[in-house]
């Protein structure tokens, strides 16, 4: 199930509000074949995040399907750039040896003990999810608020979060984008200095890519590829 972007945040008792995570969407599955992690497209992620699969394998229920997101933290904020250093790892031993720690936040439960839960209201599914699994690192339950969506969004933006996901509390789970889940994004602006550009390639027009920089104090910080460089201002 995917959320629809909206420019109009709101508060309503029929909705709940969760933190929008900046990571990789991931289904957590346990059945007769063992515990596995799957991407939205059905690709196996078990060897990329084996520590999360370990936690799923030791849950009290032998059969369940949970929806969630794998993230990596930079301080107290989730960092997709940091997570990318794990996303490309497909060797289990290399993943376990990685210094990039991950956390798997689950926020929905689609199946439990052989029963399809997708037709139940979201509040019921989340209540079952909270009680069905045992939460030890790296597995975490995604908390939510039942009111004050606009105030919560302001707090989220002040904390440097990406935003919130608003979900209709009585909604069923559907495998598509839906207006029963809405994205409230934190807007941010940054003045940038354009240092150069490349010629367009293929079907692009105008320009291909930009080299940009921004000031941090008296330093102009730029990036070319992944290697940062700094230039002292006069």
Q: Which residues are catalytic?
A: 20
Q: Is 13 exposed, middle or buried (0-12, 13-18, 19+ CB in 10 A)?
A: exposed
Q: Under the phi-then-psi rule, with left for phi > 0, alpha for psi from -120 to 50, and beta for the rest, what region is 84?
A: alpha
What is the C-alpha to C-alpha distance for residues 59 and 160, in angstroms, rounded to an integer? 33
Reduced DSSP (H G I as helix, E B as strand, rest coil) percent helix, strand, coil of the chain, to 5: 20, 40, 45
Closest CA to 20 of 152, 163, 145: 163
Strands 15-19 and 193-197: unpaired
**Which stretches of the chain are DSSP H helices?**
50-57, 80-87, 92-97, 122-132, 149-158
């Amino acid at each position: 199930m995917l959320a629809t972007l909206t420019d109009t945040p709101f508060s309503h008792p029929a909705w709940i509000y969760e933190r929008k995570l900046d990571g990789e969407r991931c289904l957590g599955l346990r059945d007769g074949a063992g515990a596995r992690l799957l991407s939205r497209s059905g690709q196996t992620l078990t060897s990329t995040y084996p520590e999360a699969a370990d936690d799923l394998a030791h849950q009290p229920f032998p059969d369940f399907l949970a929806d969630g997101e794998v993230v990596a933290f930079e301080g107290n904020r989730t960092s997709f750039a940091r997570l990318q250093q794990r996303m490309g790892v497909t060797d289990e031993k290399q993943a376990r040896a990685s210094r990039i720690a991950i956390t798997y936040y689950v926020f929905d439960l689609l199946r439990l003990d052989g029963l399809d839960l997708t037709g139940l209201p979201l509040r019921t599914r989340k209540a079952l999810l909270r009680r069905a699994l045992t939460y030890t690192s790296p597995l975490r339950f995604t908390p939510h608020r039942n009111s004050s969506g606009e105030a919560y969004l302001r707090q989220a933006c002040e904390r440097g979060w990406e935003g919130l996901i608003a979900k209709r509390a009585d909604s069923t789970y559907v495998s598509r984008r839906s207006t029963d889940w809405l994205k409230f994004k934190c807007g941010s602006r940054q003045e940038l200095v354009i240092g150069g550009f490349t010629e367009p390639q293929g079907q692009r027009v105008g320009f291909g890519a930009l080299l940009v920089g921004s000031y941090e104090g008296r330093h102009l910080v730029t990036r070319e590829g992944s290697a940062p460089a700094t230039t002292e201002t006069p």
